Amino acid sequence: MDEKLINVTIDGRKIAVGRGTKIIDACKRVGITIPTLCYLEDISAYGSCGVCVVEVENSPRLVRSCMHIVTEGMVINTHTPRVLHARKVNMELLLANHPLLCTSCERNLNCELQALAHQLGVRESRFGRTKTKFEEIDRTSPSLVRDPNACILCNRCVEVCESMQTVSAISMIGRGLNTKVGTFLDGGLANSPCTNCGQCALVCPTGAIVERSAEDEVFAALSDPTLTVLVQTAPAIRVGLGEAMGLGEGALVTEQMVTSLRRLGFDRVFDTQFTADLTIMEEAHELIDRITHNKPLPMITSCSPGWIKFIETFYPEQVDHLSSCKSPQQMFGAVAKTYYAKRAGLDPRTVRVVSIMPCTAKKYEAGRSEMDGAFKWWKKEMDLSDEERFADVDWVLTTRELARMLERIGLDFSTLEGSDFDDPLGASTGGAVIFANSGGVMEAALRTAVETLTGTVLENVEFSDLRERAGIREAALTIGESTVRVAVANTLGNARVLLDQIKGGESPYAFIEVMTCPDGCIGGGGQPIPSTAEIRAKRIASIYEEDRHKPIRKSHENPSIKELYETFLTKPLSDVSHQLLHTEYTKGDAYRY
Amino acid sequence: MDERLRSIETIVASRRGEHGALLSILEDVQRTSDHNYLKAEELACVARALEIPLAQVYSVATFYAFFNLKPQGEHVITVCRGTACHTRGSKPLLDKVLAHLGVTLGDDGSATTDDYQFTVQTVACFGQCALAPVIAIDEVIHSKVSEDQLIELVRSLQQGGQE
């Protein structure tokens, strides 16, 4: 790194910034946020929207501040009349072809285009529409809905899909006035390698990509007296929901969240963290089994459904490395509709499981055909026909959808009194909380695996190497007499690096954790928008704080999990476990369409 | 088709590593195809052989006007729809030739006869406004064309095709 600083003057203020700094980022340093609709710090600069222009002395033209780096002595003016006029005109041009149907748009009041139009002083639409064709809405995906008509062609979604996730399910197709974002042959996301991660929806400045909503279905189920509706909440919701309800970035709202779900009308409020602890039990024992019986290593975690679709699609020859454990969401559905239904004396056909997830891919995961372990389990006992098949998880709501439902019933979230999860599927440990952060599943698994293997008590349960904020991290542990190397990756681009190592026979690791989204589930595609690196840092901190305050921090010490094994599953990797908690993978093809 | 896919793999192998290989490869694939267009399975074959995502190959194939994603006629008739040509009657010209061939323009602004003998398409401007109305048949420009002349030109191609 060249440490030399560059001196610039921004709006009359002198400042020294690092070489290579973009003008837009330098402006931030003097407290000026330059408006933009296409720039994504650290991810992409495409220069398509033109609203980030500034005036640079001795430059005849206005300069797009996201595309230019500072030079020595540069004099930048960010709000001359010429700049303000140009930004406004560029915004008006973007709006010319944008359907001004804000009231019926999911992003209404949380839309960058809308907010910036207001901020830049647009009060009328002077330019007529030039696009005549109505583009078909892509509703093929179980997770996402794309409306090309609302798109301003900023390229952010294409960029995150290509460079962050290395999936490239979408690209700019056509040219000129007919340009749009689309998939191969325009066949829709479901017929593309899309992993359903939803990072595109997080960065979209308009309502052109949103999650496929299940709000109405859930409201209907909640008002049906013949149903028992159970809800499970993923770890990352407790640091996301408060944000969506206006309580500040990364606000930790576990107890208010539980009360709000009761107020919505759920019959039981349970925690995905319960089955996160269960996942650790199964996964840690699977790892020990793989190590001691010379089965394929490294073993890779399987909690993140975008990641599962990714490896199945792009590295089908490596699916044997995946842990056979279902994700905590799916373990919950299977356990709720067997163990809990039986215990509570409920007919499993009248039980509905709703998941609140920080994730759009969870919608896809719940709909996978093999995710009906409870149905298969009851089938013999109750003599059920195939037409009576029910899924383990019925509906998945993102953090954003839950927030909208709470707004719809007019619940005053900020003054809500807290309450606790219901028993027994509501009990969890610190190991389960940290599933929300990249590195957390690994850390929780190690807390259990190390104690199980060595028979000793871990003094320090916090593995600091795994908490470093990097796309790929690694750690070496001494367990007994052997050293075990482990790695953690977040984003699919980083996962690809570790998979290529395995492919080349060069992977030094025994265990790898992969999360699809940046920083893990707290940065998931279903989380509140915006979800910048700065905001994610606050969510990460809140998760670790919740872990520190949990009376029990190791999954194998969860008393409700012990009871589950004693009364139902018998032991990790038992026959019942395999039937309900483990799964198989499909070999896909990235070039199938 | 297997043979065709193998020949595409040979085309890809011959250009692998070249700068901008994708464009030249798609050009070769289209040139060697029946009816001068790129089929979905051919695009997928190129993508797989070059290890380029499907969506990116499709992006390139839809960006360049040169590439066709639908079968093209043996003869291509291009009618200029620029302002000058319009004022000198290019719309009736277009309608006349479409009616003569019994086709209508599709969403993409072109039409091909069922026997793949003719494709009719339009262009925004040839830059030959002084000679309006202008049409091109198989890349040969014809200027100050009347409806009768156009139909005569098409007829002669139709008869030539029958010989």
Q: Is residue A415 part of a domain?
A: yes
Alpha-carbon span A8 to A275, nearest angstrom: 54
B29 part of contact set with chain A, CB < 8 Å: no
A57 as an active site residue: the answer is no
Chain A contacts of B59, Cβ < 8 Å? 171-173
Q: How far is A103 from chain B (nearest CA, A)?
A: 31
Alpha-carbon span B21 to B10, nearest angstrom: 13
Q: Is residue A183 part of a domain?
A: yes
Write out A101-158 in H/E/C secondary structure: CHHHCCCCCCCHHHHHHHHCCCCCCCCCCCCCCCCCCECCCCCEEECHHHCCCCCHHH
Are A184 and B62 an interchain contact pair (Cβ–Cβ within 8 Å)?
Answer: no
The closest alpha carbon to A207, from A132, A148, A138, A131, belongs to A148
Question: What are phi and psi for residue A199, nearest 5 degrees?
Answer: -60, -30
Alpha-carbon span A131 to A249, nearest angstrom: 39
A102 as an active site residue: the answer is no
Q: How far is B62 from chain A (nearest CA, A)?
A: 5
Q: Are the C-beta atoms of A21 and A41 separated by less than 8 Å?
A: no
Chain A contacts of B44, Cβ < 8 Å? 184, 591, 593
A210, A239, A263 — which closes off a domain?
A210
Contacts 24+ apart (CB under 8 A), B105-108: B108/B70
- For residue B152, count other CB atoms closer than 10 A to its CB: 11
The closest alpha carbon to A455, from A480, A491, A474, A490, belongs to A480
Chain B contacts of A167, Cβ < 8 Å? 53
Segment B12-36 mean pLDDT: 92
Same domain, A24 and A163: no
A170 — pLDDT class (breaks 50, 70, 90) = very high
Q: How far is A130 from chain B (nearest CA, A)?
A: 16
Q: In the predicted model, is pLDDT for residue B161 greater than 60?
A: no
A-to-B residue pairs, Cβ atoms closer than 8 angstroms: 53
Same domain, A184 and A223: no
Q: In the predicted model, is pLDDT for residue B18 greater than 90?
A: no
Same domain, A345 and A481: yes
Are B55 and A183 an interchain contact pair (Cβ–Cβ within 8 Å)?
Answer: yes
Rg (CA), chain A: 25
Q: Mind listing the pLDDT tens digit for each residue in A286-337?
A: 999 999 899 999 999 999 999 999 999 999 999 999 999 999 999 999 999 9
Catalytic position from the list A141, A323, A428, A577 = A323
Chain B contacts of A193, Cβ < 8 Å? 53-54
> Treating both helix axes as pointing N-terminal to C-terminal, what angle do B147-162 and B90-101 enclose, rounded to 10 degrees?
30
B107 — pLDDT class (breaks 50, 70, 90) = confident
Are B54 and A175 an interchain contact pair (Cβ–Cβ within 8 Å)?
Answer: no
Q: Is residue A126 part of a domain?
A: no
A45 — pLDDT class (breaks 50, 70, 90) = confident
The pLDDT assigned to A4 comes to 84
Are A168 and B53 an interchain contact pair (Cβ–Cβ within 8 Å)?
Answer: yes
The pLDDT assigned to B1 comes to 58
Domain with A42, as residue range(s), is: 5-95
Alpha-carbon span A576 to A339, nearest angstrom: 11
Q: How far is B149 from chain A (nearest CA, A)?
A: 34
- The percentage of chain A sitting over the pLDDT mark of 70, rounded to a whole number, equals 99
A565 — pLDDT class (breaks 50, 70, 90) = very high
Please report the domains of chain B, with CATH numbers, ordered by start residue.
Answer: 3-63 (no CATH), 75-158 (3.40.30.10)
Using CB atoms within 10 Å of the CB of residue A227, give its burial: 0 to 12 exposed, 13 to 18 middle, 19+ buried: middle
Which value does ipTM take for this structure? 0.93
A177, A210, A243 — which closes off a domain?
A210
Are A184 and B57 an interchain contact pair (Cβ–Cβ within 8 Å)?
Answer: yes
A496 Ramachandran zone, left/alpha/beta (phi>0; psi -120 to 50)? alpha
Which amino acid appears at position B13 of this protein?
A
Alpha-carbon span A186 to A375, nearest angstrom: 36
Q: Is residue A122 part of a domain?
A: no
Segment A367-392 mean pLDDT: 96
Q: Mind listing the pLDDT tens digit for each residue in A201-249?
A: 999 999 999 999 999 999 999 999 999 999 999 999 999 999 999 999 9
Q: Is residue A113 part of a domain?
A: no
Question: What are phi and psi for residue A80, nearest 5 degrees?
Answer: -75, 160
A3 — pLDDT class (breaks 50, 70, 90) = low
The pLDDT assigned to A158 comes to 97
The pLDDT assigned to A42 comes to 77
Chain A contacts of B70, Cβ < 8 Å? none
Same domain, A28 and A143: no
A51, A71, A95 — which closes off a domain?
A95
User: Which of A162, A174, A593 is nearest residue B54 as measured by Cβ atoms?
Assistant: A593
Same domain, A135 and A258: no
A323 as an active site residue: the answer is yes
Segment A146-170 mean pLDDT: 97
A-contacting residues in B 55-74 (Cβ below 8 Å): 55-59, 62-65
Task: Please name the residue of chain A whose CA is at the shortest distance from the CA of residue B57.
Answer: A184
Chain A contacts of B22, Cβ < 8 Å? none
Same domain, A220 and A206: no
Alpha-carbon span B112 to B115, nearest angstrom: 8
Residue A517 neighbours by CB under 8 Å, 6+ apart: A197, A199, A304, A306, A359, A490, A491, A523, A524, A525
Helix (H) or strand (E) holding A513: strand A511-515
Segment A32-58 mean pLDDT: 92
Q: In the predicted model, is pLDDT for residue A110 greater than 90?
A: yes
B162 part of contact set with chain A, CB < 8 Å: no
Q: In the predicted model, is pLDDT for residue A157 greater than 50?
A: yes
Chain A contacts of B40, Cβ < 8 Å? 185, 593
Q: In the predicted model, is pLDDT for residue B127 greater than 60?
A: yes
CATH code: domain of residue A204 = 3.30.70.20
Chain B contacts of A169, Cβ < 8 Å? 53, 55
Q: Is residue A388 part of a domain?
A: yes
Q: Are the C-beta atoms of A232 and A356 separated by less than 8 Å?
A: yes
Alpha-carbon span A280 to A553, nearest angstrom: 12
Helix (H) or strand (E) holding A172: strand A171-173
User: Which of A169, A175, A591 is nearest residue B48 as measured by Cβ atoms?
Assistant: A591
Catalytic position from the list A303, A325, A359, A517 = A303
A1 — pLDDT class (breaks 50, 70, 90) = very low
CATH code: domain of residue A532 = 3.40.50.1780
Same domain, A168 and A273: no
Using CB atoms within 10 Å of the CB of residue A556, give its burial: 0 to 12 exposed, 13 to 18 middle, 19+ buried: buried
- For residue A325, the SS3 value is strand
Interface probe for B, chosen from A132, A133, A591, A593 (most Cβ of B below 10 Å), is: A591
Same domain, A258 and A178: no
The pLDDT assigned to B163 comes to 44
DSSP E strand boundaries for A368-497: 395-398, 472-479, 482-490
A154 as an active site residue: the answer is no
A159 as an active site residue: the answer is no
Q: Is residue A34 part of a domain?
A: yes
Chain A contacts of B57, Cβ < 8 Å? 184
Same domain, A28 and A54: yes
Are A192 and B43 an interchain contact pair (Cβ–Cβ within 8 Å)?
Answer: no
Same domain, A456 and A567: yes
Q: How many domains does chain A have?
A: 3
Same domain, A544 and A581: yes
Segment A543-557 mean pLDDT: 97
CATH code: domain of residue A71 = 3.10.20.740
Question: What are phi and psi for residue A396, nearest 5 degrees?
Answer: -120, 130
Q: How far is A187 from chain B (nearest CA, A)?
A: 10
Same domain, A428 and A524: yes
A584 as an active site residue: the answer is no
| ω into A424 cis (within 30 of 0) | yes
Q: In the predicted model, is pLDDT for residue A478 greater than 90?
A: no
B3 part of contact set with chain A, CB < 8 Å: no
Alpha-carbon span B47 to B52, nearest angstrom: 5
Alpha-carbon span B48 to B27, nearest angstrom: 17
**A42 or A563, greater pLDDT:** A563
Catalytic position from the list A362, A401, A546, A577 = A362
Tokens representing A417 are 């009194």
User: What pTM was computed for the model?
Assistant: 0.95
Are A173 and B40 an interchain contact pair (Cβ–Cβ within 8 Å)?
Answer: no
Q: Is residue A386 part of a domain?
A: yes
